[in-house]
Chains A and B, each alone.
Chain A
């Protein structure tokens, strides 16, 4: 029983992180119809901004991180993606790869390939015990942050004028423009929000591991990518769900796999993903609005 609860906490905590990652990718995909593989480098930029601001009080570190990542995301859009808007989707995809490699190598050149470490307040890393369960405060914080961010995002998309415009653009971008929705505003907003989500994920990630490397965003972006597709490309709730499914697979396999197989856990996780795709090739949640843009 204790293992089950412990695992449940792990699933929720890891799932929140994965959901934040996936939502960042899905939000941009919804409107631009391409997967931004440079999303991982937003995490990396967030990580290094925490490192560079390490002398500041913790609150300021967080603010610096959020501001840096959101600005970087906006810069991505303005410099790399706006000039190729409307180009062949493959062109956009390759551009995001190029951007990703460029930033990783830039980080390696300027900050070095070796891991940097940041000491975050011990409050985050402490554990407490309830009824024999050892719970890390960071796990609770991750879940709370995930829930708050997802609820706010949902509220924003549902209620605000800009949110409704974003949903309309995700469904039919051309028609949205034909009622007067400003393409640049909507796209920049999507990137800014995806930056905010990436910054939050970066903070959690750095708090978990304590280290920052140029390749920090590599694994997270693959997870975000798989979760987004598994959720059914274009569906935000699907992307979040995909994140939780991945975390469920990951934590469960970690517990159930025999000891000597555990190092290969990820092979089993992604193997299960392949199985899911065989059973539901269209993803967990099917979005009707996804069609080829002519």
Chain B
């Protein structure tokens, strides 16, 4: 009976090194805006955005985490409730890419086992400063069996698509669970890690 304007609520989390653009990605997605001044996130912020996928209104609650190292331990306590996690690195920052492995380990240790993951190589508009080529991003994603996309919050490249794709992957899982309750329907095993990252139709 409570006020409910959506069919499903998905909790998503943005993690990655400080300065890779997590807050900008969120700001672009929620407010369709960009600011180039860097303000370090000291804590956890969230924004909500409702999208429509397959006729369902899905409210995304997106948590933006502090990237600074001193907060790494404390931010891991926020992983637990997340249904989807975006791991963000900066294509102009080698170290942030190398740390993806560290972030993945963090997820393994602290997040729910069935959390949907996606790697984002942000700042892809800055091609002259690029130090991590796209193939390396794809390779690491393939290696871990997760989705990958290069994005630019500044030029609005792939931002909406990334969130919708992650939400859609969660939706697949949720509906998989629903059908599990219905014995007449066959449950598709979604844990197939060999599956190439899907580029499904995105909500627009």
Do A and B originate from a single complex?
A: no
Q: Which residues of B contact A (CB under 8 A)?
A: none
